[in-house]
Amino acid sequence: MIGILRLAFKLLVNDRAKFAALVAGITFAVFLMVQMTSLFAGILAKSAATVTNIGAKIWVMDPLVQTVANSIPMPDYVLDAVRSIDGVKYAVPLYSGGALVKLKSGDYQAVSVIGLDDASLFGRPLLLKGNIEDIYAENSFFLVKDSEFRKFEYPDIGTEFELNGHRGVISGIATVPVSGLFGIPTLYTTYNRAIEYIPQSQFTLTYILVEPKSAAVVPYIEQQIAKLGYKGLTLQEFVTAISNFYMFQTGLGMNIMIMTIISFIVGLSISAQTFYTFILENSQKFGALKAIGAKGYELVYMILFQATVTAFIGLCVLLISIAKLRIPDYAATINYANLEIALIMVIVIAAASGYIGVRRVIKIQPFDIFRS
């Protein structure tokens, strides 16, 4: 059997042009499928960037909040009520909102502003430049250095800007695990400075971040928050809720699924047609093998081996890695789920291509070779 498979491999790669066409077809199909699924995963990850970067174990919010981007302010008494719940180690306020800043050049730029609790600075980012104490300085802000950093005209410590008539100063350059989805820079400051600089409605409390005394009391805390008329979600529950919002209520999930199905159909048709053409062009060789005593099941193994080798060589995500290096705003995230989906689809492509080839080879008769 090893000799048969070795012969199948040599027959497959003997014509380099045809082999390259087979691999290119499947690689293109796999690239499209993985690109669609990884793009979807990346968008979902970026949509919950604020939740992931802050890292609070429990988030308290208005019951109508569906995603971190459309926060609904709460009255200040809710913070005291949450702090009084048994099992709460501590609870701090968080401001999250948008603003428009005037840069040094005179251009205006939309930004996302995160206001951290003045006392604890819970959820603070990791600083690349500056000191964490500098956030208490007058007009101080930390700017996140991510793919949107350039939109702030590549500032450094000491760079000034204007926010709603107030002077702002970059006193630190920070980094966060996940950059935002909406293509705008992110500024960190203290909670009181954020609500002072940015126009507010009647209430100013965007979220409450809760640290439970233990994981066992989390369900109880959520129940008590619900009795107050508000919603408490763990970090993972909030991320899941945001993902479900973008998946089912924005049309994003359906559009990505349709594009993935189209990519699969295109890849299947290209690879199956190319592989069938390969079988037709090599039918005389398979007929000759039959003539010298090759069994039908051995030819079937050869076809399946060729289809499998071609399919798995095409299972390549290098192009997406290159895209992530070259395109800063590229949102794709490759994870095990993406690769599992691609693997399953490649197996289906290999099986379909192999089935078409097997049907053709089984019908080949040795006398057809000698008659021609």
Q: Give the mean pLDDT of 255-272.
A: 74
**Mean pLDDT on 298-324:** 61
Of the listed ranges 7-11, 58-62, 151-155, 321-325, the one predicted with least confidence: 321-325
137-173 pLDDT tens trace: 999 999 999 888 889 988 999 999 999 889 999 999 9
Lowest model confidence (mean pLDDT) among 27-31, 88-92, 315-319: 315-319
User: What pTM does this model have?
Assistant: 0.72
Asked whether 111 and 232 are in contact (CB, 8 A), the reply is no
Give me the chain's average pLDDT, please.
Answer: 81
Give CA–CA dist 306/45, Å, rounded.
Answer: 38
Pick from 33-47, 127-141, 307-321, 329-343 the range whose average pLDDT is largest. Answer: 127-141
Residue 312: CA count within 13 A, CB half-sphere: 8
Look at 21-35, 40-54, 118-132 and tell me which has the smallest mean pLDDT.
21-35
pLDDT of residue 36: 75
**Count of alpha carbons within 13 angstroms of residue 104, beta-carbon side:** 12
Per-residue pLDDT at 311 exceeds 90: no
Question: Quick check: helix, strand or coil at residue 359?
Answer: helix
List, as own/partner pairs, every contact residues 257-261 make where C-beta atoms lie below 8 angstroms and the sequence separation is at least 24, other chains included.
Answer: 259/36, 260/33, 260/36, 260/37
Cα atoms in the Cβ-side hemisphere of radius 13 Å centred on 168: 30
User: Whose structure tokens read 């099986």?
Assistant: 351
Two tokens, residue 158: 């000491």
Do strands 166-175 and 140-144 pair parallel, antiparallel, or not at all (unpaired)?
parallel
Give yes or no for residue 317 having a pLDDT over 50.
no
Q: Give pLDDT tens digits for 81-135.
A: 999 999 999 999 999 988 999 998 899 999 999 999 999 999 999 999 999 999 9
Q: Report pLDDT digits (tens) over 221-246.
A: 999 999 999 999 999 999 999 888 88
Q: Write out pLDDT tens, residues 180-212.
A: 777 789 999 999 999 999 887 778 899 999 999
Tens of pLDDT, residue by residue over 340-356, are 777 777 777 767 766 66
pLDDT for 193:
94
131-168 burial, b if ≥16 CB within 10 A, otherwise e? eeebbeeebbbbbbbbbbbeebeebeeebebebeeeeb
Residue matched to tokens 């048709």: 269
- Check residue 114 and report its DSSP letter: E
Helical residues (DSSP H) of the chain, grouped into ranges:
2-14, 16-47, 49-54, 77-83, 191-197, 218-227, 235-248, 252-281, 283-291, 296-314, 318-326, 336-363, 366-371
Share of the chain above pLDDT 70, in %: 71
- Cα dist. 221→89, 103, 208, 225, 248 in Å? 11, 43, 13, 6, 28
Mean pLDDT of 286-302: 65
CA distance 186 to 194: 13
Q: Alpha-carbon distance 151 to 350, whole Å?
A: 46
- The pLDDT value recorded for residue 70 is 80
pLDDT exceeds 80 at position 278: no
Q: What pLDDT sits at residue 257? A: 75
What letter represents residue 21's amino acid?
A
β partners of residue 205: 74
- Backbone region of residue 43 per phi and psi (left: phi > 0; alpha: psi in -120 to 50; beta: other values): alpha
